[in-house]
Amino acid sequence: MIVIIDYKMGNTGSILNMLKKIGETAVISSDIKDINNADKLILPGVGSFDTGMNNINNSGLLDILNKKVLKEKTPILGICLGMQLFANKSEEGIKRGLGWIGGNVVKFKFKDNNLKIPHMGWNEIKIKKNDVLFKNIAEEPRFYFVHSYYFFCNDNNDVLATTNYGYDFASVVRKDNIRGVQFHPEKSHKYGMNLLKNFAQLC
C-alpha cells in the first residue's frame, strides 16, 4: 500500500487521482499506523519550507518518517516542496530540513530580469543518471513545474536529472531509497503517469 502523507500541505487529492487512474491502491493519511504499514511513501507539498517542517514536527510524524525511510529503507518519493524538505535547510526559512539528502534549497537568481519567478509551466528534463523512474520514458518528456526555490545537492551523484530555467538545476534527485522530483508528476499527463507507475511498481 502506498501512503500519501497528509501533513496539511496540499495537492494530495491530485496524486491519489492519478494513482487510481493507473490502478494503484493508495491512501491519504497522517496516521502513524498507516505510515508504519506502508510499502511506499509519497511526500507531497505545496507551500513554504518552514510551514512544511512545522507541520511534520507538530503532527508527530518526524520519528516515524525517519524510522521508515532511514532504517527500514522504505521507498519514498518527494514531490515539489516534499522533495525540498529532504534537504538540510532552505533559503526560504530558518527551520532545519529532514536532512536525508545532503544539500540546501536556494532561490532562483538571474542576472537579467527577463525570467519570471516562480518558474511556472511545462519544461523538459535532461537525464544525468539512469534510474527505474525513467523506464519507458517518452521522447522529449515534459513536466509541469511551479516553484521559486530549487534543491542544490552537495553531491552531484545525487542528481538524476536537470532542467534549464536560466541555468540548469536539479529536477530529479535520489539517494538510495529516497527520490524527489521538483515538478508535479500528478499534473503532467502521460509523462507523470509513467513516472508514478515506475515508482509504484519498480522502486
Partner 1 sequence: MLKIRVIPCLLLKDLGLVKTVKFTDPKYVGDPINAVKIFNDKEVDELIFLDIISTNKKRKPSFELLSRIASEAFMPFSYGGGLRSIEDVKRIMEIGVEKVVINTYAFENPEFIKEIADMFGSQSVVVSIDVKKNKENNYEVFVHSGQLGTKINPVDFAIKMEKIGAGEIFLNSIDRDGTMEGFDLELIKNVSSSVNIPVIVSGGAGKIEDFAKAVESGASAVAAGSFFVFVGPYRAVLINYPDKKELRKVLK
Q: Is 147 a catalytic residue?
A: no
Q: How far apart are CA 141 and CA 199, in angstroms?
A: 16
In terms of CB distance, is 63 or 139 closer to partner 1? 139
CB of 167 to partner 1, least distance (A): 11
Q: Which residues contact 12 (CB under 8 A, 6 or more apart)?
A: 4, 6, 28, 44
The reply on whether position 118 binds partner 1 by CB under 8 A is: yes
3-class DSSP state for residue 76?
strand
In terms of CB distance, is 177 or 188 closer to partner 1? 188
The answer to whether 128 and 158 have CB atoms below 8 angstroms apart is no
The reply on whether position 93 binds partner 1 by CB under 8 A is: no
Question: Is residue 99 packed enough to be buried (19+ CB in 10 Å), middle (13-18) or exposed (0-12)?
Answer: middle
Q: Residue 176 carries which side chain, given as an amino acid letter?
A: D
The 70-89 contact track toward partner 1, x by CB under 8 A, reads --------------------
The answer to whether 148 and 108 have CB atoms below 8 angstroms apart is yes
Residues 140-199 close enough to bind partner 1 by CB under 8 A: 142, 144-146, 164-165, 184, 186-190, 192-193
Residues noted as catalytic: 80, 184, 186
Q: Enumerate binding residues for partner 1 (CB under 8 A).
A: 10-14, 17-18, 20-21, 46-48, 113, 116, 118-124, 142, 144-146, 164-165, 184, 186-190, 192-193
